[in-house]
């Protein structure tokens, strides 16, 4: 499936939006946490897992998805949520714990739910695979050509939920795309110490489904593989598995001392940054000029200004609102 100019520019701009969103979150998260870091302090308390470096995965897959398609994400969800089209203002407000947030301040950054674009995520590793199978089952039973994509890190591929869900989706030939974001690190444990096979794509064979390894953190290569998987799913031919070697620039969570990480690793990865990479390709194809790039970046900043302003200026929930919404 050929990506047109608009889609390619959407991919580039969305990656910029994700990167800048998280750069702003890095700063916002540190507010109230200096000079002494306490995870419970500041306008954004709690854990914060950022996806800087993994933007190509989000846009490469989401380039093929529609609003009606379902996405489930893991505890590191911002790139996926933004690329799926989750309301950025409400998402930011949720992260700030505000009443106007997606979950009225009940979920926070690991638990973002936007039914309008069928996005959800979970703080439990590998937990998003089974609900994606369920969404795909619902689509199939209702005669729709909608698909579901489940994203998780390479650490999640050692959870039973991954294998159970792959098997179930395969038996029932459900339209699910399993996407493994291999950023090499499960918190501090490297892939070599967690995974018996060289690529999780090899595990697809165990369930009789296609498995593809994308060895580069390249949005276009990811989009090509995802296009094949999504089309296959829409045709009713069943699930696929894609593993992508992607990059985690930051710690597992903000505040992670990363003593386990080889010195200089991140600097080397950044030389192969996925955003700059797509930018070079688009420039070479004359789809992107310096002035258009400037326009896109300025637009991103304005969008982010609005989202963060909305979040900061929104009211907190009433404390006793904690008692609401246990049941629908």
Partner 1 sequence: MTERKLTMSRAIVEAIDQEMARDPKVFVMGEDVGPYGGIFGSTTGLLQKYGEDRVRDTPISETAFIGTATGAAAEGMRPIVELMFVDFFGVCMDQIYNHLAKNTYMSGGGVRLPVVLTTAYGGGYSDAAQHSQALYGVFAHVPGLKVVVPSNAYDAKGLMIEAIRDDNPVMYFFHKGLMGLGWMTSPATAATPVPEEPYTIPFGKAEVKRSGTDLTIVTVGLMVHRALEAAASLEKKLSIEVIDLRTLVPLDRPTVVASVKKTGRLLVVDEDYRSFGLTGELAASVAEADVPMRRYRRLAEPDVPIPYSRPLEQFVFPSAETIAAAARAAVA
67 or 325: CB nearest partner 1? 325
Site for partner 1 in 92-111 (CB under 8 A): 101-107, 111
Among 35, 115, 262, 264, binds partner 1 (CB under 8 A): 115
Q: Name which of 37 and 316 has its Cβ closer to partner 1.
A: 316
Least gap, CB of 152 to partner 1 (angstroms): 13
Cβ proximity of 229 and 39 under 8 Å: no
Give the pair of three-digit tokens for residue 321.
Answer: 């609102």
113 lies in the site for partner 1, by CB under 8 A: yes
- Give the footprint of partner 1 on residues 170-199 (CB under 8 A): 171-172
Select from 165, 222, 242, 250 the one that contacts partner 1 (CB under 8 A).
165
Q: Report the nearest approach of partner 1 to the CB of residue 318 (Å).
A: 13
C-alpha–C-alpha distance, residues 229 and 69, integer Å:
13
Report the sign of the C-alpha dihedral through residues 229, 234, 235, 241, in that order: positive
Among 131, 210, 227, 279, binds partner 1 (CB under 8 A): 131
| CB of residue 90 to partner 1, shortest distance in Å | 10
289-295, Cβ contacts within 8 angstroms, sequence gap of 24 or more: 292/9
Q: Strands across the sheet with 148-153, in order?
A: 113-114, 119-121, 70-73, 148-153, 176-182, 240-245, 211-214
Helix, strand or coil, per DSSP, at residue 70: strand
Cα Rg, the chain, nearest whole Å:
19
Q: Is 214 exposed, middle or buried (0-12, 13-18, 19+ CB in 10 A)?
A: buried
- Binding track over 242-261 against partner 1, x by CB under 8 A: --------------------
Number of chain residues interacting with partner 1 (CB under 8 A): 45
DSSP assignment of 159-211, as one string?
Answer: SHHHHHHHHHHHHTT--EEEEEEE-SEETTEEHHHH-SSS-GGGGGGGGTS-E
Does 325 contact partner 1 by CB under 8 A?
yes
List, in sequence order, every residue forming a beta bridge with 263; answer none if it has no partner: none
Binding mask 43-82 for partner 1 (x = CB under 8 A): ---------------------------x-x----------
| Residue 108: CB minimum distance to partner 1, A | 8
Nearer to partner 1, 14 or 161 (CB): 161
Q: Please state, in angstroms and as integers, the Cα–Cα distance from residue 292 to each residue in 9, 226, 236, following that order.
A: 10, 27, 40
Give contact residues for partner 1 (rule: CB under 8 A): 70, 72, 101-107, 111, 113-115, 118, 120, 122, 124, 127, 129-139, 141-142, 148, 160-161, 164-165, 167-168, 171-172, 324-328
């Amino acid at each position: 499936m050929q990506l047109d100019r608009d889609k390619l520019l959407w991919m580039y701009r969305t990656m910029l939006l994700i990167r800048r969103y998280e750069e702003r979150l890095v700063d916002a998260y540190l507010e109230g946490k200096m000079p002494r870091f306490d995870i419970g302090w500041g306008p954004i308390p709690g854990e914060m897992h950022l996806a800087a470096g993994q933007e190509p995965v989000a846009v490469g897959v989401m380039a093929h998805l529609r609003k009606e398609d379902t996405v489930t994400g893991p505890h590191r969800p911002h790139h996926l949520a933004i690329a799926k089209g989750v309301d950025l203002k409400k998402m930011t407000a949720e992260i700030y714990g505000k009443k106007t947030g997606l979950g009225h301040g009940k979920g926070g950054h690991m638990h973002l739910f936007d039914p309008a674009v069928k996005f959800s995520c979970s703080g439990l590793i590998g937990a998003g695979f089974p609900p994606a199978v369920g969404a795909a089952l619902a689509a199939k039973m209702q005669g729709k050509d909608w698909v579901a994509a489940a994203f998780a890190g390479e650490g999640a591929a050692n959870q039973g939920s991954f294998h159970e869900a792959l098997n179930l989706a395969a038996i029932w030939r459900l339209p699910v795309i399993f996407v493994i974001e291999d950023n090499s690190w499960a918190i501090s444990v490297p892939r070599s110490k967690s995974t018996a096979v060289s690529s999780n794509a090899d595990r697809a064979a165990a369930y009789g489904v296609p498995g593809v390894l994308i060895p580069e953190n390249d949005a276009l290569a990811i989009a090509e593989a995802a296009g094949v998987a999504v089309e296959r799913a829409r045709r009713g031919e069943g699930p696929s598995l894609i593993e992508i070697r992607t990059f985690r620039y930051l710690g597992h969570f903000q505040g992670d001392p990363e003593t386990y990480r080889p010195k200089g690793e991140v600097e080397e990865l950044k030389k192969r940054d996925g955003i700059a990479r797509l930018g070079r390709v688009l420039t070479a194809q004359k789809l992107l000029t310096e002035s258009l790039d400037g326009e896109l970046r300025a637009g991103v900043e304005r969008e982010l200004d609005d989202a963060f302003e909305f979040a900061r200026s929104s009211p907190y929930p009433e404390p006793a609102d904690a008692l609401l919404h246990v049941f629908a």
